[in-house]
Amino acid sequence: MSLQAFLLLASALFSVGLYGALSQQSIVMIMMGVELMVNAVIVGAAAFWFHTSPDRPDGQVIVLLAVTAMAIEMAVGFAVTTAIFRSRDVDMTDMAADLKG
Amino acid sequence: MVLWLLVAVPVMVGVALAVAGRRADRLAPAVAVGTGTVVLALALWAAMARPAVSAPLLDRLPVGLAVDGLSAVMVVTVAAVLMAVLVFSASEFGARFFGLVLLFAGAMLVTVTATTMTALLMSWEVMGATSYALIGFWWRDENRVASGGVAFLTTRTADLGLYLAAGALLAGGSGGLALADLPGIGSGWRDVAAAGLVVAALGKSAQLPFSFWLSRAMAGPSPVSALLHSATMVAAGAYLLLRVQPLLSATGWAAVVVAWVGAVTALVLGAVAVVQRDLKQLLAASTCSQVGFMVLAAGAGGVAAGTGQLVAHAATKSLLFLCAGVWLTALGTKDLHELRGAGRRYPVVGISFGIGALALAGVPPLSIWFTKDAVLSSALHSSAALYAVGLAAAAMSGLYAGRALFLLWSPSDREFDVERRVPRLQQWPLPVLAAGAAVLGVVFGLGDSRWWEAVLSAALALVAVGLAAVATRGAADVVDGRSPVLSAWLHLDALAHKGVVALTVALAGWLARFDDRVVDGGVRVASGLGGAVARVADARVDWSVDRFVQWVAGVTRGLGRSARRPQTGQLHHYYAQAVVALAVLALLVVVFGRG
Amino acid sequence: MDENPLALLPEILLAVAAVIGLLLGSYLPKHRQWLVRLLAAAACAAGLVVTVVAWSGEDMAVFGETYMVDVATNATRVVVLVAVLLVLGLAGDPVRGTMRESEFVVLLLLAALGSVLLAGSNDLMLLASGYLLASIPLYALAGFAKDAPGTEAALKFYLMGALLGVTMLAGLVVLFGVGGATQYTALSDGLASASRVAVAVGAIAVLAGLLFKAGAAPAHFWVPDVTEGAKPVVAAFITTVPKIGAVVAIYRFVAVPLAAARVDWALMIAIIAAVTMTLGNLAAFFQDNVRRLLAYSTISQVGYLLVGVAAAGRSDLALPSVLLYLGGYAVTNLGAFAVVCALPHAATLADYRGLVRRHRWLAVSLVVLLLGLVGTPPTAVFAGKLTVFTAAFDAGLGWLVVLAAVNTVASVFYYLRWIGPAVRGEEASAAPEVSRWAVRTAYATAAVSVLLGVLAGSLLGVLGG
Amino acid sequence: MDVLSIVVFLPVAVAAALLASPRIGDRVARWTWIVASAVDLLLVVVLWIGYQPGESGFAYEVDRRWIPSVDSGYHVGVDGLSLPLVALTAVLFLACAVYSARETRRVRSYAALFLFLETVCLGLFVSLDLILFFVFFDLSIVGMYFVIAGWGHRDAARAALKFFLYTFLGSLALLLGFIGLYLAASPHTFDIVELVRQDPLAGKGAMAALVLAALGVGLAIKTPTIPFHTWLPPAHTEAPAAGSAILAGVLLKMGTYGFVRIAMPALPDAWRRYAMVFVVVGVVSVVYGALVALAQRDFKRMIAYTSVNHMGYVILAVGAAGLITSSETQARDLAVTGAVTQMVSHGLITGALFLLAGALYDRGGSYEMAAYSGLAAQAPRFAGLTGLAAFASLGLPGFSGFIAEFQIFTGSLGGAPVSTAVAFLGILITAALFLRAVQQLLMGQFRSPNGPFPDLTAPEAASITPLIVLAVVVGLFPRFLLDVIEPASRVVTSVLGG
Amino acid sequence: MIPVWRDVLFWVCAVLAVVTGIAVFRVDSMARATFALLASFVFAAGTVMLLDLPYLGVLVILMMIMEMVVMAVFMIMYMMNPAGLMPMTMVHNPKGSLAIAVGTFVLLATGVLLVPWPSSQAPKPEDPTMQLGEALMGDKMLVMIVLGLALFATMVATVVLATHRGRYDRYGDRLERKRPQDPSRGGLGR
């Protein structure tokens, strides 16, 4: 249960989430990808706290911060999705590409 | 102060008249003649008092004027000839003409009294420009204006030598650009200065190879020719060489060159004069030839002889031109054949012309016989060959002067188409000048020439005149049209045109096209990136800053398009680009960024 | 512990005004919501007064040293508060009496607060929280109109922000891992001996978020789309206020924790600056839509600002010049948007043809403002640019200055594409409707941008230059 | 407010007042413009009369700090280099104001723009601070852009843009050079006087060369010299007459003035080392400009190219002044004095020529010389002034051009004999092209594209004649001007040392 | 717990977290994806609990459950094919994304394995939760305050974005109605 092992897990979660964010068309699915990345952050922060600075609370606070951030991002995400769904009846990013150039 | 007045009066009155233009036409002759009188008086006074003045002009480079022995003679000559020309013209011309003539004479007066390079150069150039205006006086005729242009440009080409000399004089260590400093400056710069001065003088004096402009200058009114060819402009070159004779001899080579150019011009242009059919052209060529003697004198060290020749020639030539002018206005022609018998028709003019022509021929005891012998004697001092050429040239003058004389005096039964009375004012100056042409030589004497030289040249002149008499007897004119090359003044004009003018114009045109193509090509490039890229890819593209600027514009246009290409509007493209860019940045920093 | 709430009085004023504003708005009739605006304006004014009165050269670290009150923070406060005041002015016509006027104002205040907090953060976690606070209200503002372009803008804005926010958090974790702390001073000690690779990756990940806020490459993609999609007044705010906080935050981030790290962060920032300004300028070149053009222009301006940031620590002039530039940029950019707001129906450059005929002074203001953005003396941006370039030169970034200068020249082209038709005396295009509040704001900003330039010397003195 | 600042800012104040009062008519605007310019000229005359340089070599010096942290401020003053140019600016702007009495298109804006430009030009010449200098340098480009774009001929927009981009590029190079100077100075400063005193780049070869290159390119574009001149012909061809007159008469001088005010004294070592470059550029400009002008068929384009030629003399002179070999200080003084005199002279003469070209275009609707002939018959005043201006421009003694060119030639020959000798060709070719133009336009049988060719109107004559008269006054009695210039030239050459 | 078991438990949790994470984007219904995500979070939280941080682990799990419920509601609202009745291929640029993701992972993993991570001999706190609480009330208080403000902003923002009708639609421009005028009745307290 070394630090490297945790970090590998975090890297894997981060990459999987990144893949999702990059490849998904549905807004909600993209948000899921982003959440997986937050998951990685949580794991990483906890691991670093444990292995490098258990005497300081910073690592723990980061986890809390990440969780809150995730919640906030999700709430806004849903609101944005609602707004765009209402205004143009889509929930795919590909269909919202009028602004370009 | 008087010296200032001497130069300022003609200049200021001249400018005033020229500016006033037509409004002053009625007053102008009187004013001009009055001014001429004042100038003559001032000149006489200056010749006696020998004043010297100076005024600051540029940084430690003043304008200096002074009258010494040489210039005393010159100012009087200029003033006298000016007076004659003004009186002669009084019946025919308006304010603009008199204004320009006075300005011209003023410039000449400054030229002959200048003691510093600044004064000399300024007056020298103004004289050239005024001659342009005078030659092209009848401006509605583009040909005449063009002739003026040729005169101005040719003399200005030579004038560059004067600029060069001025620079060399300063660089050689003369703080004030005084002409007197010339022989004493550092030797390298001295040679440069001498070369520049010689070129300038030869150009102004219409010596070879610049002679052609004088032929074109005949397009101007006759009084202008009289002024130009006698005491001013053409004489100025010779005067300058006489003035800087110490410099010429100090360099060693310059004196020899000048002497030979003078001698050869005297001979060749004499020959040109012989075959001319146009009276004014004949006189013009003879001017070159006669001035050649003065140049020869300057080269050979005979300053006094040259000066004498200058004065005697001034009187003679102004007389002859004025006579030609009388006939031209009275009879409407200057063709020698058509003028046959004109001398008999207008006796006062004819006799005056006769005296002048004989003087020109070097017939003793008229003035030029004296002065020319003085010149030839100084030539003999330096080289026998020079003397021989000079002698041949003297023979030429006998030939052409005699030819003109006999053609004009030979009896003719034909009626003149146009015939007008000659105004009194035009006749008055002629006898006076004739007297001058006849007797002035005595004043200067024969210099240090030996008796046999004088006799030889007198005999030569008489023989030549005799030959001319034979040649023109009856209706014949044996030399007429014999040598096209000589008739056409050795084609110098055409040569200069082909060799210099055409070449320059072609170069200018080429450069302008280059410049235009640069601009236009640039516009084309800007019109499309494709074109720009193609041209850039084309290795033969000729480089230029402007095209470079346009090329940059074209490329930027392309870059601008590609810079907006990432902005697809598709979010997943944004995502991918941002992530990849950040990763690349991280790699860059990890690899290169060792803080 | 040094919880000195008074030190944060301007921030507190903003927060309180936001809360009260929301409450007040709930009880006000529709057409009297201007009271909320008044409240917000009063809070901003009060904040300005407090900041100026309490301004001192001394640095003060508060709340466990997680927050710095120093010249940079104070300057950011001033600039942000002035910018908010200007935006409130701009919002006069388009928002007045609409359904959500109070919410609009509240979101404005919260975003401004977030921006200030970004600038003052002396702790990575506070930075991340500030990032959230500075972003969330903007997403809502971008989609405020809830029309098709607005919501699309909000969507793209939000998704970019979410991804890069998480990236920032990841970077935070990495830096925390190798540095052992998130508070800058402690982190600085930790990073001094930390692995170069880890610091580089972590720093870039953290920067990703800040670059997103600043609208710099490679996180700039949202800028044109949001600027075009959102309402002009919102676009004005979004392209101005968050950038201020973000640029100062970047400055603080490289100047404190990264200062001792074994990473060439100057190179990093320099590359970002170079790419940002070049990309922004090039993309603006043949842009016909004025708002997109302005958007790209703001991107390039951030590039110039980052030139100054790259000089951090190596030139005494770096911070003052960046702050001066920020102030000048904020006013000038808001002014340019004010002109856009004043003519709501003029969308393309062609619509500005003959503006000088109809609205002489508006055209003059536009010329002054756009030339200001170019960096023509004696405007504020010129003074900023000049000092920023000087600082970068001082710091040995000559190549970057040359590139920036080249870019400045290039930028003249597209600003002229706008100025040209506006001042040429041709027949004007269809008579545009004019918003009076926006017009006044445009005049004011034009005047201020020149005034700031003239006063640049004394300003720099105050900013410690 | 000191008198110099009043002189500088009076026009722009009037311009603002003009813009701010929308109700006034064209007539009032015109007269306001003329009166403002006249008052400004009057003030300049007062300045000239009271000119008494102090210890520093400057008169009317004012020094207020602007950006102290970079030591830049509002530092203005006049010395022998700038006072003549200030006077020239005031004269030319008044001439343009009088000349433009016939302008009918948006008179108020036109007047305001020119007044603004006047302030900018005056401001540049009195600046003793690099930033201030740069500010005015840039604003001049902006102002002229609007003049060309707003009141030019058919293709004005493109020409104006080209002008703008080109000269702006130059100004950026200039700015880089300024920053280089600033950084080299210790303590850092943008103050020109202080920089000259410090000689910050002495002994720093590469850096000095770079800074000089930046300054050189920036100023050369504005001057313009070969090969940076291509913006000039289109800008002139498309600009309105008064705009061309100002552009050629005043704006071009900013480049050459920059050389004598900044590049030479602040970088004496580098200047001496690379003086030959400037000499060569100058000579090539002289000959190339003259030759290309010779080939032009368009009167205005021809004059434009002669500007390249005439500015080439200035570059030649300042280059030659830096050549060590001309140890004779008198020659170098002469060269620098000649350069400044040439700026004044070219301003007067070319200003007059462009105004005449404008009059020509108004009557015939074309600049094509072949379209005209014998204009002297119908328009003697036009013919007389054109003839005089042409002769003045070709360097005839009696006009200011000769005074300038003679000093340049005489002063430069010692240092750069071959180059200077080649440059002599310039006056010959200009003579040829002006004679040709005069002959084509004025002499011969009358012909004009639009039938009759009325003579100059009173305002036109009143604006052009004084310029010619001034050129003659300087040509005959140059001491009043040279007495002012010479001490300042000596300062420049003494700083150059060697 | 015996260290070996902790290791085993960790690896099990880790692998499952990743696998379920991948499953989020492989399953063909959004509902399944939601639950896969939840699972991934739960397993990751499990590893966190192994690090003596039970409080945070539980917090994550509870948070995720709430969120997934909300997400389910949304999916129903927008008819996003919740039951997986139709197979969905809502992806773009899958290969590129995969390449980027794999590349990122390779780079990160290389870094993880090569970077000399610091280690601490510092004693573990008695009660990590206590440590967290002290920090929140102490040094990191401002962080929490700002997060609170962010939450406040989130509320305002979501309301602005998501609700169609505002108070003036319901209660009139002067808020004069006692009862709101809604197109369909219902809601809290009605």
Verify that E155 and E75 share a domain, yes or no: no
Check if B594 contacts A (Cβ < 8 Å): no
What average pLDDT score do residues C237-260 get?
93
Determine phi and psi for B55, rounding to 5 degrees: -140, 145
**What is the model's pLDDT at position B541?**
32
DSSP-derived 3-state class of residue D200: coil
C383-418 as b/e, with b when 16 or more CB fall inside 10 Å? bbbbbbbbbbbbbebbebbbbbbbbbbbbbbbbbbb
The model's confidence at residue E84, banded by pLDDT at 50, 70 and 90, is very low
User: Which of B556, B579, B589 shows the shortest C-beta gap to C282?
Assistant: B556
User: Which pLDDT value is given to residue D31?
Assistant: 92
pLDDT at B419: 63
Mean of the per-residue pLDDT values for chain E? 83
- The percent of residues above 70 in pLDDT, for chain B, comes to 91
Partners of D447 in beta bridges? D373
Taking alpha carbons only, the member of E59, E33, E35 closest to residue E128 is: E59
CA dihedral (C146, C147, C149, C154) in degrees, to 10, reads 10
Residue position matching structure tokens 């969120």: E67
Task: Find all residues with CB under 8 Å of C216, minimum gap 6, and list them.
Answer: C272, C273, C276, C299, C302, C303, C306
User: Residue D83: pLDDT above 90?
Assistant: yes
Q: B534 pLDDT exceeds 50?
A: no
CA neighbor of D181 nearest in space, from D191, D169, D170: D191
CB B569 within 8 A of CB C292: no
| Nearest residue to B10 (alpha-carbon basis) of B127, B135, B137 | B127
Whole-angstrom CA distances from D312 to B523, D278, E20 are 26, 9, 79
What is the mean pLDDT of the segment spanning C440-456? Answer: 91
| C-beta separation of B358 from B405 below 8 A | yes
Residue E86 pLDDT > 60, yes or no?
Answer: no
Instruction: Evaluate whether residue E55 is within a structural domain.
Output: yes
Measured CA distances, D83 to C300, D40, D43, D120 (Å): 41, 14, 12, 15
Smallest Cα distance from A94 to chain B, Å = 6
Mean predicted confidence (pLDDT) in B498-506: 86
Cβ-proximal residues to C78 (8 Å cutoff; 6+ apart), any chain = C48, C51, C52, C327
E9 and E82 together in one domain: yes
| pLDDT mean over D28-35 | 92
Structure confidence at residue C263 as a pLDDT band (50, 70, 90): confident
- What Å distances lie between residue C204 and A39, B472, B565, C318, CA to CA? 20, 110, 25, 21
Lowest-pLDDT range of B415-429, D120-134, D228-242, E22-36:
B415-429
How far, in Å, CA of D467 to CA of D353, rounded? 10
Assess whether pLDDT exceeds 60 at residue B536.
no
**Burial class for B48, CB neighbours closer than 10 Å (0-12, 13-18, 19+):** exposed
Rounded CA gap, C7 and C70, in Å? 10
Structure tokens at B226: 């009289």
Coil, strand, or helix at residue D364? helix
Q: Reply yes or no on whether the pLDDT at D87 is more than 80.
A: yes
Domain residue limits at D311: 271-498
Query: How far C136 CA sits from the closest chain E CA (Å)?
Result: 6
Distance of CA A57 to the CA centre of its chain: 23
Q: How far apart are CA D408 and CA D400, in angstroms?
A: 13
Q: Which of residues 180-209 of B touch D (CB under 8 A)?
A: 192
Contact with chain A for residue C296, Cβ under 8 A: no
Residue E6 sits in the same domain as residue E86: yes
| Mean pLDDT of the residues in chain D | 89
If pLDDT is split at 50, 70 and 90, which confidence band does E85 have? very low
pLDDT over 80 (residue A77): yes
Confidence class of residue E187 from pLDDT cuts 50, 70 and 90? low
Res A93: pLDDT: 76
Beta bridge partners of D191: D129
Q: Is E104 on the interface with B (CB under 8 A)?
A: yes
Does residue D290 lie within any of the structural domains? Answer: yes
Identify the pLDDT of residue D103: 80
Backbone angles phi, psi at D315, to 5 degrees: -65, -40
Residue D302 inside a domain? The answer is yes
Number of B/E CB contacts below 8 angstroms equals 14
The lowest-confidence range among C82-86, C235-239, D23-27 is D23-27
| Among candidate residues D232, D244, D431, the one with its CA nearest the CA of residue D354 | D244
In a domain, C315, yes or no: yes
Which pLDDT score is estimated for E18? 94
Tell whether E127 is covered by a domain. no
Per DSSP, helices labelled H in C239-379 are 241-255, 265-284, 290-310, 318-342, 355-358, 360-374
Give the model's pLDDT for residue C435. Answer: 82
Domain presence at residue D96: no
Digit-coded pLDDT (tens) for B346-355:
888 888 999 9
Residue B170 CA to residue D411 CA, distance in Å, equals 8
Q: Would you say residue C79 has pLDDT above 90? A: yes
pLDDT at B559: 80
Within 8 A of D182 by CB-CB distance, chain C residues are 390
Mean pLDDT of the residues in chain B: 84
Do E45 and A52 touch, CB atoms closer than 8 A?
Answer: no
Helices (H), B418-544: 424-427, 429-444, 451-471, 484-487, 492-496, 502-527, 529-537
As beta bridge partners, residue D67 has D72
Distance, in angstroms, between B247 CA and closest chain C CA? 58
The residue assigned the tokens 């100084």 is B378
* ipTM rounded to 2 decimals: 0.79
Q: Determine the pLDDT at residue B528.
A: 40
Q: Which has the minimum average pLDDT: B280-289, C289-298, D67-76, D350-359? A: D67-76
Give the pLDDT confidence of C5-43 residue by residue, as tens digits.
Answer: 778 899 999 999 999 999 998 888 888 888 999 999 999
pLDDT of residue D401 exceeding 60, the answer is: yes
Predicted confidence (pLDDT) at residue B411 exceeds the cutoff of 80:
no
Which position has the token pair 């590609």?
Answer: B562
**D325: pLDDT strictly greater than 70:** no
CB of C83 closer than 8 Å to CB of C106: no
Judged against a pLDDT cut of 50, whether residue B254 lies above it is answered with: yes
Contact list in D for residue C360 (CB cut-off 8 A) is 19, 22
Is pLDDT of C159 > 70?
yes
Q: Are B250 and B181 in contact (CB under 8 A)?
A: no
User: How much is the pLDDT for C431?
Assistant: 58
> With 70 as the cut, is the pLDDT of residue B144 above it?
yes
Asked whether residue D348 carries a pLDDT value surpassing 90, the answer given is yes
Instruction: Show the domain range for C456.
Output: 264-465
Structure tokens at C350: 């062609």
Among B88-102, B412-426, C168-182, D240-254, where is mean pLDDT lowest?
B412-426
How many domains, in total, are found in chain E?
2
In the prediction, which pLDDT does C358 show?
Answer: 81
Distance of CA C409 to the CA centre of its chain: 23
Counting one residue from chain C and one from chain E, the pairs whose CB atoms sit within 8 A come to 112
pLDDT of residue B413: 67
Domain count, chain D: 1
Top pLDDT among B440 and B39 is at B39
Between CA C157 and CA C143 the distance in angstroms is: 10
Maximum separation of any 2 CA atoms in chain E, in Å: 70
Helix extents (H) in D185-325: 192-198, 205-222, 232-238, 241-246, 252-258, 264-266, 268-294, 299-321
For residue B546, pLDDT beyond 70: no
- At C333, is the pLDDT very low, low, confident or very high (cuts 50, 70, 90)? very high
Structural domain boundaries enclosing E12:
1-90
Which residues in chain B are contacts of D333 at CB distance < 8 A?
59
Q: Using CB atoms, which residue from C167, C225, C264 is nearest to B589?
A: C264
Q: Give yes or no for residue B237 having a pLDDT over 50.
A: yes
**Do the Cβ atoms of B572 and A96 come within 8 Å?**
no
The band of B488, judged by pLDDT with boundaries at 50, 70 and 90, is confident
Q: Write the single-letter amino acid at D58.
A: F
The residues, ordered by sequence, that sit 6+ positions from C58 with a Cβ below 8 Å of its Cβ are C70
Looking at residue B547, its pLDDT comes to 62
Interface of A with E in 7-36 (CB under 8 A): 7-9, 11-20, 22-26, 28-29, 32-33, 35-36
> Which residue, among A63, A67, A80, A85, would best test binding to E if mutated, counting the most E CBs under 10 Å from its CB?
A63
Q: Which helix (H) or strand (E) is B65 found in, with range?
A: strand B61-66
Chain B residue numbers touching A100 (CB-CB < 8 A)? 567-570
pLDDT at C454 over 80: yes
E-chain residue closest to B571, CA distance:
E92
pLDDT tens string C366-406: 989 998 999 887 789 988 998 898 899 888 888 898 889 88
Mean of the per-residue pLDDT values of chain C: 89
Inter-residue contact E34 to E75 (CB < 8 Å): yes
**Preceding amide of D452 cis, omega within 30:** no
Nearest alpha-carbon partner for B111 in B257, B246, B233, B25: B233
Structure tokens at D357: 């070209």
User: Over 70: is that where the pLDDT of D158 sits?
Assistant: yes
Work out the burial of residue C1: count CB atoms within 10 Å of its CB; fewer than 13 is exposed, 13-18 middle, 19 or more buried: exposed
Strand B52-58 to D59-67 pairing = unpaired
Any alpha helices (H) in chain E, and if so which ranges? 3-24, 30-50, 54-77, 94-114, 128-137, 141-162, 167-171
Contact (CB<8Å) E97/B580? no
CA distance D372 to D381: 16
Q: How far is it between the farthest Cα atoms of chain B?
A: 117
Residues of A in contact with E143 (CB under 8 A): 61, 65
> Hey, what are B581's tokens?
């860019």
By residue count, chain B amounts to 595
Give the HSE-up count for residue D228: Cα atoms under 13 Å, Cβ half-sphere: 24
**CA D74 – CA D129 distance, rounded (Å):** 7
Convert the pLDDT of each residue in D444-479 to its tens digit.
889 888 888 999 999 999 999 999 999 999 999 999
Residue E62 lies in a domain: yes
Tell me the count of A-B CB pairs closer than 8 A: 27
Question: Any idea what the Cα angle at residue E64 is, between residues E62 and E69, rounded to 5°?
Answer: 100
Averaged pLDDT for residues D373-396: 92
Query: CA C294, C297, C302 angle in degrees (round to 5)?
Result: 130
Residue D107 near residue D151 (C-beta atoms within 8 A): no
pLDDT digits (tens, 9 = 90+) for B120-134: 999 999 999 999 999
Judge contact between D374 and D383, C-beta under 8 A.
no
Angle, helices C360-374 vs C398-423, to 10°: value is: 170
Residue B475: predicted pLDDT: 65
Q: Choose one of E90, E115, E148: the last residue of a domain.
A: E90
Across residues D119-145, what is the average pLDDT?
A: 90
Portion of chain D with pLDDT greater than 70, in percent: 98
In a domain, D37, yes or no: no
- What pLDDT is stored for residue E124 in this prediction? 83
Q: How far apart are CA D176 and CA C405, in angstroms?
A: 8
**What is the mean pLDDT of the segment spanning D385-405?**
93
